[in-house]
Structure 1
């Protein structure tokens, strides 16, 4: 039942928590007018190998497998962690005993069952910066689209748009863009594992597909650079 309070009864005073006061940080004054960081604007504009987009299909796994972030896979995707108590194997021991053997098994399966369809669409486009916007231009010089990026509120107040020639310079810069995929077959295999209640295999294959896409993006970015 509900307990009714006694009329006139007072609750004990709450104990005041003693919180150590943080040292006050002087607020940086907000600059008046438009802001731009100190990023240089006189670097030579690179000449792209072509303008527009190209499609590359059938990228072999061995070309981008070395770009796989194992820690992101084992810790973030597979949840491979040492016990907090300190008893039992360390994280590195788990990697050697469980992580890498299962990873090798999955990579072999992906290869033998032909589950990967790695492909990239990439290209180079004329552009210029307008404040915090990167404006991508068409062949006729008209605006095609724009990306608005945040600016740091402190420090150097960097913004990605600062790394491209500003519109007022009268010069056109170039931006490289890419989209990557590891294909749909691996997604279908993941869905089949889920439907079969093979949850560990499902989670591992799904996590691996995510990190292989990241590895492909890193690998192609390095090629573009």
Structure 2
């Protein structure tokens, strides 16, 4: 009866073995991942920081229309012929018209190449004019389990042998924005009750910022002489580098205020449609979280570059991953 069942459930609860999480904290650096430490170091075209003029015609081809149309413009759930019709008759022409006619995207970008090395869970950033002088240490968490990946592992480690020459690696840091005007336009559209137009405009602003970041990352790959799918771009606030307070150091390194960026009290980048990122050129760089992701083989292509539809392609009718989800990690090989 009921009493017997309750007694059995209580007994099972008492006897249940408590699983103790004995994983080390994400700050632990006693065990490093198996990521190669001998990846070739490319030569950047310049050292230090430069503002990069943004060509919106070029950026257009880096827009991720899959995310724009599905997540921002309300295309979620539309499939098959209806999806193709929506793109052909509405979203496609609308995007091209809005991109051509807008006057609210004021793009700016800044890019920096710095000598660096890894030291445990930190990327030590050195002064390009005096490579022995530390400027900042960017701190990243390490997977407690899995393959123990930390973003710092993608850069050459500091040598512990005083008799061997220290080879510096190179790290690219970038910051981009479409400026504050698009936010003001969206606020005015909302105040006027133009909710659909506000939705479309906000989506354009968000994806324009992402498109500029991807356009600049593509430029970094070209300038470093590495193939299109190699390396990764990581932004703070996502699983591999969740601590947005690190933005303070990156802002200092890039002098990000020069392009109109600032930080909120919670270290979020402002204006809203702006991104800051670190670029790792390493051939084994992959997206990962503290509970997901494994070390891939060399040359694992960047799915965001290889697979993502751009503005001049028909995006698939599948639903895109929500922001912050790492790309599917390869299953580690046995043995």
Q: Normalising by the residue count of structure 1, what TM-score does the alignment of the two structures yield?
A: 0.76
- Cα contact 1:149–1:159 (8 A) shared by 2: yes
Can you give the 5+ residue segments of structure 2 that lack an aligned partner in the other structure?
Answer: 9-19, 161-165, 222-335
Unaligned stretches of 5+ in structure 1? 1-9, 17-26
> What does residue 185 of structure 2 align with?
189
* 1:135 aligned to which of 124, 139, 147: 124
Between Structure 1 and Structure 2, whose CA radius of gyration is higher?
Answer: 1
Could you tell me how far 1:89 is from its partner in structure 2? Answer: 6.3
CA distance in 2, matches of 1:191, 1:28: 47
CA-CA distance at 1:221 after TM superposition: 0.4
Q: Which residue pairs with 2:51 in the alignment?
A: 55
The separation in 2 between residues aligned to 1:160 and 1:52, in whole angstroms, is 21
Q: Which residue of 1 aligns with 2:92?
A: 100
Matched, 1:68 2:72: no
2-structure distance, mates of 1:78, 1:147: 36
Q: Please point out which of 37, 40, 43 is paired with 2:39.
A: 43
Matched position secondary structure for 2:170: strand
The answer to whether residue 155 in structure 2 is matched with residue 171 in structure 1 is: no
Q: Does the residue aligned with 1:67 lie in a helix, a strand or coil?
A: coil
May I ask how many residue pairs the two structures share in their alignment?
Answer: 199
Query: Aligned equivalents of 1:125 and 1:61: distance in 2?
Result: 27
- Cα distance in 2 for partners of 1:89, 1:201 equals 25
Aligned residue runs from structure 1 range 1-225, under 5 A: 34-57=30-53, 59-82=54-77, 90-110=82-102, 114-138=103-127, 139-140=129-130, 141-168=132-159, 170-225=166-221
Q: Deviations over 1:195-220 (max 9, x none)?
A: 22211111210111100110111011
Q: Secondary structure at the match of 2:123?
A: strand
What SS does the aligned partner of 1:158 have?
coil
Mapped to 2, the partners of 1:102 and 1:191 lie a distance apart of: 20
Question: CA 1:79–1:33 in structure 2 vs 1: closer, same or farther (change >3 Å)?
Answer: closer
Contact 1:28 1:154 in 2 (8 A): no
Structure 2 vs 1, CA of residues 33 and 79 (structure 1 numbering), >3 Å: closer, same or farther? closer
In 2, the alpha carbon distance for the partners of 1:210 and 1:102 equals: 16
Deviation of the 1:30 alpha carbon = 5.8
